[in-house]
Amino acid sequence: MVPVLSGRIQTRLVLLLVVGSVVTAVVTPLVGADYRTTFAVLAAVAVLGVGWELLYHLLMQFRWEKDWPSLFGLLTAVPEGLLLWLLLDAGLLPTVDTVPLAAYVVHFAAVWLAVWLVANGPMRVPFLRWRFRGGRLT
Amino acid sequence: MPERELRDRGDLTQALLDNATWPDSLVAEAGIPVYDVPLVTVGGGIGSFVLVDYLRIAGVPTADIRVLSTIDNPWQTYEYLTRVSQIPGPERIRSDSSSRPDNIWGFPSYALSEAWRERTLRPLVHVLGEPIFADYWTPRVADVFKSMARESGRIGYPTMLVKGVVRMVRRRAGGGYFTVLTPPVGTGPTKRVAYRSRFVHLAVGYPGLRFLPDLQEFREKYGDFTRVVNAYESHEHVYEALRTRPGTVMVRGGGIVASRVLQRLMDDRERFGLQTKIVHIFRTFVTGAHGPHLWSRRKGGDGWAYQGFNYPKSVWGGQLKAKMRRLDGAERATEYKRMGGTNTPKRRRWQQQMRAGREGGWYEASQGLVERVEPAADGTLVSLVTGDAGTRKIGADYIIDCTGLEADIAEHRVLADLLAHGGAGRNPLGRLEVERHFEVKGTASGDGALYATGAATLGGYFPGVDTFLGLQIGAQEITDDLARRGFGRRIGSVRSTTQWVRWAFGRPVREG
Ligand SMILES: Cc1cc2nc3c(=O)[nH]c(=O)nc-3n(C[C@H](O)[C@H](O)[C@H](O)COP(=O)(O)OP(=O)(O)OC[C@H]3O[C@@H](n4cnc5c(N)ncnc54)[C@H](O)[C@@H]3O)c2cc1C
């Protein structure tokens, strides 16, 4: 899928809501965190993500093809994960007290990888028109 | 009635030729047998195939579709063109992993299928790195045909196929169309038969070969068809001759076909230890990144404009697709000009070969316009070339024209008839003007509709028409439009998913 701005945002929100929630539900007990915390982290990935998508959209304009290689979709986990951790660490995330770094990394990486995998293929099965509309679902 | 007489009946009459709209009685008077079917698709190439695939998956039974075509299977013309232009079976094509004419979802991609089949992660790692760390991964041409053969069986394609040459499509009084078909000699009851349908789809591929004028002139004047060839004609004899005697080849053009021909010449040179020299003439010689501003720069160099696919990737689904959809007239033409033009992928192997050729002094590329080609006394061909470097005479033993399949649409009989009698018009690039949903503008007939996809429609709201993925985008738009008109179902999420499962298990698409 080669995204348009609204498609980026819609796809991110829907996939985090559906795929992200399932992964979070499964991973939370495994890393010994509580649901309130992990779902707050998930929500933060979604909310901050809107800002990130604006930035990615801007960067994409420098590409002649106006595309976004799937590798970028994977690697952007690094800056996003780091920023979110810094915010968490500084106690700037409402409703969350503290999270152990290991639990955070496992949860964040699992969600990211699952969302990325679904966006790179299976998503096209129920949403036949999605890839031709720049990731828009509406 | 003797058979002969019967066959002479059933031909086009002057009244039919003269009337843009045909009442049923006019066709009956001519003695042309009429077959009723809701939808016909003309062409039977990859464009017809992907539309039929969509429609079958949308629940249209085989009895409601007829494919009128000169070929036996949908990839036949493509196979011919790729073979002569130097993409034999084991070679890889241009389009990417998710452009799958046998699978409307593009999932699993070709790379995933290849990885599964060959039990290796390599294609997937390659796709992950593209286009940054690796060239675009693209499927082998033989695998494309194999997968289409499987899908053809799954949707019952052969049962819908009717062989013959389509002569014209005319509007029917009262709605819908008559499509006149000339069956192969001796197979039809009469010289012509007609299909009466509410819907018609045209996917006739390329209207014809276009030769460069100076080469055309040479061929006509000297009757020499062996030393001046077009890359889309069979020209194996050139490579064979070069193996028996060293020679110089002039290659003309800067597109992917030129790249393929160069690769073949250079591969042969390496494999058989040949001494072939190559002179390469570009009409437009690109020396570096080019484009109007920082947000719009395409890579280029050594003569070529570099681009993975024939248009920027977002044309098939991203920003440029959305943008083009809004443009009309001159604005659209300008945008086509900005992002179109001849280009080729920057593949690592090709770069290596050309570098070796430049260093070894046996590959030389330059800018030039060829004014004339003439035979010289020593039996070679001399091209008079004007360009940035002044006027030169360049000798060669062979000239391979790699410039294109760009003939005017009016050279195709069916399209010419549609322009003259069917209400069709031209778009800003001179081809058939179609709506966003690929209905040919101006051709509606009662509750019927006429659609077109493929190269004949280049210049419309969607630029990527002449590609597998573009043909599928067109097929999707048409299927949705037909569903709005009550023909077939709109494929929603549930149907899409259940049909995908059937695809994955190779289960046939059910009737209805
Ligand atoms: C060398 C080459 C390589 C290409 N590589 C790629 C690639 O890698 N990826 C990609 O996505 N696209 C590629 N394309 C572009 C395009 O996808 C293919 O050309 C594709 O085959 C186009 O499908 P089509 O249905 O429009 O035309 P075709 O497949 O050519 O089918 C049209 C058919 O209509 C028939 N026909 C025409 N007139 C009549 C008539 N009056 N009556 C009956 N039948 C008629 C013709 O005989 C022809 O068989 C390539 C094209 C070429 C030439």
pLDDT digits (tens, 9 = 90+) for B267-296: 999 999 999 999 999 999 999 999 888 888
Which of these ranges, B4-8, B338-342, B389-393, has the smallest mean pLDDT? B4-8
B375-407 per-position pLDDT tens digit: 999 889 999 999 988 899 999 999 999 987 778
Residue A44: which domain range?
Answer: 5-133
Each domain of chain B, given as residue ranges in start order, spans: 3-77+147-207+408-504, 213-288+343-401
Q: Look over chain B and give the mean of its residue pLDDT values, rounded to a whole number.
A: 95
Give the Cα separation of B39 and B450 in Å (integer).
10
Is the pLDDT at A115 greater than 90? The verdict is yes
- For residue A138, is it within any domain? no
Task: Report yes or no on A29 lying in a domain.
Answer: yes
Give the integer Cα–Cα distance in Å for B16 and B32. 11
Q: Please write the tens of the pLDDT for every residue from B115-156.
A: 999 999 999 999 999 999 999 999 999 999 999 999 999 999
pLDDT given for residue B9 in this prediction: 76
B175 touches chain A (CB under 8 A): no
Query: How far apart (Å, rounded) are the C-alpha atoms in residues B64 and B38?
Result: 5
How sure is the predictor about B45, in pLDDT bands with cuts at 50, 70 and 90?
Answer: very high
Instruction: Give yes or no for residue B1 having a pLDDT over 50.
Output: no
Backbone angles phi, psi at B297, to 5 degrees: -125, 125
- Using an 8 Å Cβ cutoff, are B46 and B480 in contact? no
Residue B3 binned pLDDT confidence (cut-offs 50, 70, 90): low
User: Which atom of ligand 1 lies closest to the CA of B85?
Assistant: 1
B188 within ligand 1 shell (Cβ under 6 A): no
Query: Has residue A79 been placed in a domain?
Result: yes
Top residue of A67, A70, A75, A133 to mutate, by most chain B CBs within 10 Å, is A67
Which of these, B175, B167, B174, B173, lies nearest to B202 by C-alpha position?
B167
> How close is the nearest chain B Cα to the Cα of A31, in Å?
29
B 297-336 near A (Cβ less than 8 A): 297-299, 307-308, 312-314, 316-322
Q: A22 lies in a domain?
A: yes
Tell whether domain B213-288+343-401 is in CATH 3.50.50.60. yes
What value does the mean pLDDT take over residues A112-117?
98
Does the Cβ of B46 fall within 6 Å of ligand 1?
yes
Q: In what order do the strands lie in the sheet with B39-43?
A: B161-163, B65-69, B39-43, B199-202, B449-452
Spatial distance between the Cα atoms of B324 and B304, rounded to a whole number of angstroms = 25
CA nearest neighbour of B392 among B227, B226, B250 = B250
In terms of CA atoms, which chain B residue is nearest residue A66? B314
User: How large is the average pLDDT for residues B47-66?
Assistant: 98
Is any Cβ of chain B less than 8 angstroms from the Cβ of A138? no
Report the percent of chain B where pLDDT is more than 90: 89
Is B403 close to ligand 1, i.e. is its CB under 6 Å away?
Answer: no
**Is A126 contained in some domain?**
yes
pLDDT of B340 reads: 84
Residue bearing the bigger pLDDT, B432 or B338: B432
3-state secondary structure chain A: CCCCHHHHHHHHHHHHHHHHHHHHHHHHHHHCCCHHHHHHHHHHHHHHHHHHHHHHHHHHCCCCCCCCCHHHHHHCHHHHHHHHHHHHHCCCCCCCCCCCHHHHHHHHHHHHHHHHHHHCCHHHCCCCCHHHHCCCCC
H-state helical runs in B398-460: 413-421
Closest by CA position to B439, among listed B419, B429, B424, B455: B424
Is A117's Cβ below 8 Å from some Cβ in B?
no
Tell me the percentage of chain B whose pLDDT exceeds 70. Answer: 98
B416 CB under 6 A from ligand 1?
no
| Residue nearest atom 53 of ligand 1, based on CA coordinates | B81
pLDDT of residue A94: 80
Asked if the Cβ–Cβ distance from B105 to A125 is below 8 Å, we say yes
Q: Confirm whether B3-77+147-207+408-504 and B213-288+343-401 share one CATH topology.
A: yes
CATH number of B3-77+147-207+408-504: 3.50.50.60
Sign of CA dihedral B169, B170, B171, B172: negative
Total domains present in chain A: 1
